[in-house]
Amino acid sequence: MDIATVKEYLKSYDGPQCTIMEVCGTHTATISQNGIPDMLSDKIRLISGPGCPVCVTVAAYIDRLLELALTQNTTVVTFGDMIRVRGTKLSLSDASAMGASVKTVYSPFEIIELAKADTGRNFVFAAVGFETTAPVYALIIERLINDNIKNVKLLTAIKTMPEAIRTVFAKNGKITGFLAPGHVSIITGYELFLDLAKKLQVPFVVSGFSGEELLLSVYALTKLKGGQALNMYTSVVTTEGNERAKEKLLKYFKITDAPWRGMGIIKNSGMVLKEEYGEFDAGSQNLISDSMYNSACKCADVISGMLSPCECPLFGGVCTPENPQGACMVSAKGACFHHYVNKRL
Amino acid sequence: MKITMAHGSGGRATSGLIENIFKKANSNPVLDAMEDSAVVDGDNKIAITTDSFVVTPLFYSGGDIGRLSVCGTVNDLLMRGAVPKYITSAYIIEEGADTEVLERIAVSMSKTAKEANVCLVCGDTKVIEGSGGIYINTTGVGFVKDGTDIKSSNCKAGDKIIVSGNMGDHHAAVLSHRMGIKNSIKSDNAPLNEMVLGMLENKIRIHALRDITRGGLGTVLNELSRSSDKCFLINEADIPVSDEVKSFSQILGLNIMHMGNEGKLVAVVDAEDADIALSVIRNSKYGEDAKIIGTVTEGNGVIMNTKIGGRRVVLELIGEGLPRIC
């Protein structure tokens, strides 16, 4: 079937109501940037899921980062997205103005060079992310050990997808299919989502990231039945995934229960450094408290697909990218940010 | 030699700096007279603009702060249909700056002024405490012919929207330099005299012109849309961007619509003149990749028809963008 036929089908689709969740934040971005919602019939609704690492991080974690950044002789090193997310009260950006030491990087490996150049200072990386980013943190630990670097620690909030997807599916009740997280699948492999499809009796499609690939994947999800799954990103996603990355990850990290913004603690949905590597941990355990900066913020419901960003009472008024109240409006992968910036017609 | 506070004293060290660097790089009768102000010939309608340049790094692939400080001001004059004539330059130099660096900047400024056909008529130098930074302010004066009325509020429904070349080059070049990424991306840093004056000579009915600098095309189109109370309908597939900048922006998650340039313009012209305008721009220096990207319609906002056939609203740049790009 050619792409023109797929487009025609999706625009005129008149079957049972489809509610499809894109789990991955980069898919959320692509969907908005390509204007895909405008190409679908009213009977196909796309909703964003818990696939933005910054969005699912709880306030206690940000508060701990602030505490570290304000500690004498300590620099917090982070991806840019994290800078403006507020914890209970303040963000790293606020703390920076108060004299905290915060450095933004594009690659986590930059912390190694920073630490070597200033051995008298302690550096802490804000190690948030999913299965995709986590192997990089494993490689950093390996470098720290091999190069005998003593002034770097990680504050981890590593999450894993399957149990979060299961929780969202149980809570939402309307989801008829999932666009599986593409980047995560590269590491975990397609089989993880095939297994999940069977267990939850809802279809999964592993999708690529171009507009056309997403249209084809949405098309597939209108056709698949519960328990079926399809890998449509075969150029990089294999059935078993990246064994080497998984192996590295499990060498340094172990599976644990993890707190998700608005969803509470989900069993076996995160990873922490194993006890024997505890010296590299900057106090990542027990950062559970999830009190929102603005109690009217509906980020939690947005992340689980219960509400569309524009259904939040703060959206576009009190809460804008210039003055974000919740993480979903801060992150370049956040659902609210994309709804605002690439306004859907 | 390093710049010291003495170079800003107004005394002998200052005149030495002016003699050895600025006068060597730029010489003409008005400037050489070294009077307190320049007295120059003029026409009836005068366009004036001023701009300060704080770009870091001072030198990047395709340009430097000297070239930038001339192009930025010259292009601002051109965007009102003015013929750029005179330019001033004021340097604020932090102590510790290298005189060789200063000389390279002054020479680059002089070359660019010649290219842009403007006469550098006066200047100033101040030295402040710091660590070797250099900042430049330039003011430009140009003359507007009778009957020329180019302004943002003039856009009319039916007008065609032309951009003069690839988006994002300057932004990507500066960012590559800062991040230490090696690639062949060059800044588009250029004066746009030839294409603008060419359109004026060809009697193109230009309704509005804007150079696409900080904030990128998305921001400029939103400003035009607001000023003229019209809708700007554009086609993603027609927006010119080089393959290298496209890949660069994808890797770093940058939005082409919000990446800055320093040698590109948007022209909003009468639909009947659009094809000639496009050919004038394409035949000019720096305009070969120009494209018609859309149409002005009744309504408001900027709406993009995406490549795959969807539609979305394009907002102006929100947040910080890339600081110290110009």
Which residues 213-252 of chain A have a CB within 8 Å of chain B? Answer: 215
Q: What is the DSSP letter of A172?
A: H
A342 touches B: beta carbon within 8 Å: yes
Residue A28 half-sphere exposure, CB side, CA atoms within 13 Å? 31
Instruction: Give percent of chain A with pLDDT exceeding 90.
Output: 65
Task: Say if CB B301 and CB B231 are below 8 A apart.
Answer: yes
Spell out which residues of chain A touch residue B308, defining contact as CB-CB under 8 Å: 7, 34-36, 39, 211-212, 215
Interface test with B, best of A34, A83, A336 (most B CBs within 10 A): A34
Query: What pLDDT sits at residue A345?
Result: 54
Provide the pLDDT for residue B17.
86
Confidence category of residue B163, pLDDT binned at 50, 70, 90: very high
Q: Would you state the pLDDT for residue B14?
A: 83
Identify the bridge partners of residue B63 per DSSP, sorted by sequence position: B60
Per the CATH hierarchy, to which homologous superfamily does domain B5-144 belong? PurM-like, N-terminal domain (3.30.1330.10)
Q: Tell me the pLDDT tens digit for each residue of B111-148.
A: 999 999 999 999 999 999 998 999 999 999 999 988 89
Nearest C-alpha neighbor of B226 from the set B169, B301, B172, B156: B301
Per-residue pLDDT band for B289 (boundaries 50, 70, 90) equals very high
For residues A163-181, average pLDDT = 93
Q: If you measure CA to CA, which chain B residue comes closest to A7? A: B309
The predicted-structure confidence for B15-53, as pLDDT tens digits, reads as follows 888 888 888 888 898 888 887 888 888 877 999 999 999
Could you tell me if residue B230 is left (phi over 0), alpha (psi between -120 and 50 degrees) or otherwise beta? Answer: beta
The predicted pLDDT at position B81 comes to 96
**Cβ–Cβ gap A34/B308 under 8 Å:** yes
Residue of A nearest to B317 (CA): A341
Mean of pLDDT values over B85-104? 96
Highest mean pLDDT among A18-32, A82-96, B40-54, B258-272: B258-272
- Mean pLDDT over A149-157 rounds to 96
With the CA atoms of A217, A219, A225 and A226 taken in that order, what torsion angle do they form, in degrees rounded to the nearest 10? 50
Which 8-state DSSP code applies to residue A38? G
- pLDDT class for B321, splitting at 50, 70, 90? low
Task: Suggest the residue from B236, B312, B313, B314 to mutate for an interface test with chain A (most A CBs closer than 10 A).
Answer: B312
Q: Does A320 lie at the interface with B, CB-CB under 8 angstroms?
A: yes
Residue A132 has pLDDT above 80, yes or no: yes
Tell me, what's the pLDDT at A285?
A: 85
C-alpha A154/C-alpha A122 separation (Å) is 11
Taking the domain A59-160+242-280, which CATH number applies?
A: 3.40.50.11740
- Per-residue pLDDT tens digits for A304-318: 888 888 889 999 888
User: Top-level CATH class of B152-313?
Assistant: alpha beta
pLDDT tier for residue B319 given thresholds of 50, 70 and 90: low
Q: Do B318 and A38 touch (CB under 8 A)?
A: no
More confident residue, B142 or A328: B142
CATH 3.40.50.11740 intervals, chain A? 59-160+242-280
Q: What is the CATH number of domain A3-52+161-231?
A: 3.40.50.11750
**Average of pLDDT values for A292-308?**
82
Q: Which residue of A has its CA nearest to B315?
A: A341
Q: Do B312 and A35 touch (CB under 8 A)?
A: yes
- Look at residue B194 and tell me whether its pLDDT is greater than 80: yes
- H helices of chain B, in order, are 12-17, 24-25, 29-32, 65-78, 99-115, 169-179, 193-201, 216-228, 243-252, 274-282
Residue A255 touches partner B, C-beta closer than 8 Å: no
SS3 content of chain A, % helix, strand, coil (to 5): 40, 20, 40
Chain A residue closest in CA terms to B316: A341
For chain B, domain boundaries: 5-144, 152-313
Tokens of residue B301, six digits: 């906002």
**pLDDT score of A193 more than 80:** yes
CB contact under 8 A, B312 and A345: yes
Contact present, B233 and B298 (Cβ < 8 Å): no
Inform me whether the pLDDT recorded for A74 exceeds 60: yes
Question: What's the pLDDT at B320?
Answer: 64
Asked if A35 and B311 come within 8 Å (Cβ–Cβ), the reply is yes
Q: How far apart (Å, rounded) are the C-alpha atoms in residues B176 and B279?
A: 32
Name the nearest CA neighbour of B264 among B175, B182, B126, B162.
B162
The reply to whether residue A320 touches residue B308, judged by beta carbons under 8 angstroms, is no
φ/ψ of A82, rounded to 5, equals: -75, -20
* Cβ contact, residue pair A343, B315, below 8 Å: yes
Q: Reply yes or no on whether the pLDDT at A261 is more than 80.
A: yes
Q: Which residues belong to CATH 3.40.50.11750 in chain A?
A: 3-52+161-231
Neighbour count for residue B278 (Cβ, 10 Å): 21
Written as one string, the DSSP assignment of B67-101 is: HHHHHHHHHHHHTTTEEEEEEEEEEEEETT-BHHH
The pLDDT mean for chain B works out to 93
Mean pLDDT score, B218-225:
96
Mean pLDDT score, B295-309: 96
Structure tokens at B200: 């004026």
Q: How many helices (H) and strands (E) does chain A have?
A: 14, 11
A119-133, A190-204, A291-305, B73-87: which range is least confident on average?
A291-305
Predicted pLDDT at A83: 87
A32, A211, A340 ranked by CB distance to B307: nearest = A211
Question: Which residues of chain B lie closer than 8 angstroms to A340, CB-CB?
Answer: 315, 318
Contacts of B253 in chain A (CB under 8 A): 29, 332
- Quote the mean pLDDT of chain A: 91
The mean pLDDT value for A246-264 works out to 92
Q: Which run of H or of E encompasses A339?
A: helix A335-341
* pLDDT of B322 higher than 80: no
H or E, element range at A76? strand A74-78
Question: Looking at chain B from residue 169 to 188, which residues have their Cβ under 8 Å from any Cβ of chain A?
Answer: 179
